[in-house]
Each structure stands twice: as structure tokens, then as C-alpha cells.
């Protein structure tokens, strides 16, 4: 279990070191080779950053998986008041512990939830860790059967629980004709634009994936509407939305180290006025 924070900045290469971008969505998901699943969260405020960080560590412990915590340069430099709850009110997930004594427990043996137990260092369990395809004991086993078993479990332990992992904000989407998909600090401008569009008679809404991976695709499938995907890049989540949307999906990209303005979003929404 590990939580990795990635505060996205302008790219490629050194790019715009202190300015905002959203160029790492796909890197977070596909940055390594092979078939696997990760969990990735992306807040839109300092308060949500605090709250989600607690969820990130809990998810890493619960699912025994790396969690990629995405920020952007705007959030990383932002100061806002936050509420810190009493410590005894904060959920703290403990990783699954072995149920058998040392010598009997197979460290990578999982039950129906597909998540193996994980002892603490010093508990007396012998652990063999390998980057090679391995069996339930942790020993390398380079067979098609072992590879199939391992890769299937690594993927399904997240997919099986994905609806518990998904976090999404739906803002004024109930009767929307067009929905803007936006993430992180960029979504703050979209809320303002959605309110302005409503005042002009445009039935607009905001769908904000907070869980980026596994992508909450059922929320896209739930709406038979047109989508605008507003990203501070040249189109990444746009391709994922296209995969699941029934209707038109428009990309509204922006580069240059700046967020979309509410006026830019509103201008795009006006094309959908009936």
C-alpha cells in the first residue's frame, strides 16, 4: 500500500514548472506496463484534498494497491480554510491481517474479496516479494496458469469493488440537456458557468469525476445527453467519455498554464441553447 501525490504542471518535459495543467491522467493509469488496476482521486479544493487524502490512505490499506493522488498546480499553491474533524471521528482502515499462524499462512492467498492479508513487519511471517510472476507463497512461478491467476486477481480485486470506490459530483444534472465533464480546480469555473447558462435558459450541468481511476463510467451511461469535456490538456479523459457516451461528445481543451474561465465554458454551452 502506498499513496503517491502528483501535482500536475505544464508539460511536456520541464514545461511550465509552476503553472497549471492536467496532463497526467493517462500517465497515472497506464504509467507501467502490463494489465493492472489502480485507484486515483482528484479533489477540487483544499478541504476536499484533506478529506480525500484520508480516503486515499484507507483505500490503499483496504485494497492493498497504490493510490495515485492527483492535484494540479492551482490546488498545490492554494490557501483555503478547512475543517479538521476530531481524530476519534476519522475512519482509519486497518489492512487485512493474516488469520493463520506463521508457517501456515500463504501471503498471497486471497478469499472471495480477492485481497490477500498483509502482516506487519515483525509479526513473524516469512514474506518473499518478487517482481516476477509468483504463486500464493510469493515464489516465482513462470507458468501460463500462474500468470493468468495473478493478473486476473490484480485487476478484479479493484473492478469487483469499483462502485464502492467511485466518488462523483453531479451538479444540476437532473434535467440537463448538456453536461460538462470537468475535474479538479477547473471544475470550479464550470459551476459558475453552469449557473450562468441556467439563467439564460440553457439546461446545463456539471459531472465531476472525483475518482478518476477506476473511471466511474456508469455515471456517463446514466445520461442520454451531449457532453463537453473541459480539460487543461489536449484531450485525455475526453476519449474515456467518448467510449461510454451515447450522444455527441465535444472536447474543450486549454493549454498555456491557465484554467478555463467561466466565460469560455459559457460560450461553449451557448451552442446548445434550444
Q: Where are the domains of the chain?
A: 2-90, 165-272
- E strands along the chain, which residues? 2-10, 16-20, 39-41, 66-72, 168-171, 178-182, 204-209, 211-213, 226-231, 249-253
Q: Is the pLDDT of residue 274 over 80?
A: no
- Residue 13's pLDDT is 86
Whether the Cβ atoms of residue 254 and residue 232 lie closer than 8 Å to each other: yes
Q: How far apart are the C-alpha atoms of 201 and 226, rounded to whole Å?
A: 16
Q: Is the pLDDT of residue 38 over 90?
A: yes
Q: Is the pLDDT of residue 122 over 90?
A: no
In CATH, 165-272 is 1.10.10.60: no
Q: How far apart are the C-alpha atoms of 82 and 194, rounded to whole Å?
A: 25
Q: Do domains 2-90 and 165-272 have the same CATH topology?
A: yes
Look at the domain 2-90 and name its fold.
Rossmann fold (3.40.50)
- Residue 240's pLDDT is 98
Instruction: Band the pLDDT of 128: cuts 50, 70, 90.
Output: confident
Look up residue 215 and give its DSSP letter. -
Secondary-structure breakdown of the chain: helix, strand, coil percentages, each rounded to the nearest 5: 30, 20, 45
- Residue 12's pLDDT is 87
What's the whole-number mean pLDDT along residues 67-91? 96
Whether the Cβ atoms of residue 115 and residue 96 lie closer than 8 Å to each other: yes
What's the whole-number mean pLDDT along residues 54-59? 98
What's the whole-number mean pLDDT along residues 106-118? 92
DSSP reduced 3-state for 24 = coil
Percent of the chain with pLDDT over 90: 89
Instruction: Band the pLDDT of 14: cuts 50, 70, 90.
Output: confident
Residue 102: CA atoms inside 13 Å, Cβ hemisphere, count?
9
Amino acid at each position: 500500500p502506498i499513496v503517491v501525490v502528483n501535482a500536475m504542471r505544464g508539460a511536456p518535459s520541464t514545461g511550465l514548472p509552476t503553472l497549471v495543467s492536467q496532463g497526467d491522467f493517462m500517465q497515472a493509469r497506464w504509467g507501467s506496463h502490463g494489465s493492472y488496476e489502480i485507484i486515483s482521486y482528484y479533489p477540487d479544493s483544499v478541504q476536499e484534498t484533506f478529506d480525500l487524502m484520508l480516503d486515499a490512505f484507507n483505500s490503499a490499506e483496504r485494497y492493498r494497491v497504490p493510490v495515485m493522488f492527483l492535484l494540479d498546480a492551482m490546488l498545490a499553491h492554494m490557501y483555503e480554510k478547512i475543517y479538521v474533524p476530531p481524530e476519534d471521528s476519522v475512519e482509519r482502515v486497518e489492512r487485512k491481517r493474516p488469520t493463520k499462524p506463521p508457517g501456515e499462512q500463504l501471503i498471497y492467498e486471497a478469499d472471495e474479496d480477492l485481497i490477500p492479508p498483509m502482516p506487519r513487519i515483525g509479526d513473524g511471517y516469512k514474506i518473499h516479494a518478487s517482481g516476477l510472476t509468483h504463486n500464493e507463497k510469493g515464489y516465482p512461478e513462470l507458468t501460463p496458469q500462474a500468470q493468468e491467476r495473478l493478473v486476473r486477481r490484480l485487476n478484479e480485486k479493484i473492478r469487483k469493488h469499483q462502485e464502492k470506490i467511485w466518488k462523483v459530483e453531479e451538479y444540476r444534472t437532473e434535467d440537463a440537456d448538456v453536461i460538462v465533464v470537468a475535474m479538479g480546480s477547473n471544475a470550479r469555473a464550470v459551476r459558475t458557468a453552469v449557473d450562468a447558462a441556467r439563467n439564460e435558459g440553457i439546461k446545463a450541468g456539471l459531472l465531476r469525476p472525483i475518482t478518476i481511476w477506476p473511471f466511474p463510467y456508469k455515471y456517463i451511461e446514466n445520461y442520454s445527453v451531449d457532453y463537453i469535456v473541459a480539460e487543461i490538456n489536449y484531450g485525455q479523459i475526453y476519449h474515456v467519455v467518448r467510449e461510454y457516451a451515447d450522444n455527441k461528445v465535444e472536447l474543450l481543451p486549454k493549454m498555456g498554464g491557465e484554467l478555463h474561465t467561466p466565460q469560455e465554458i459559457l460560450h461553449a454551452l451557448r451552442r446548445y441553447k434550444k
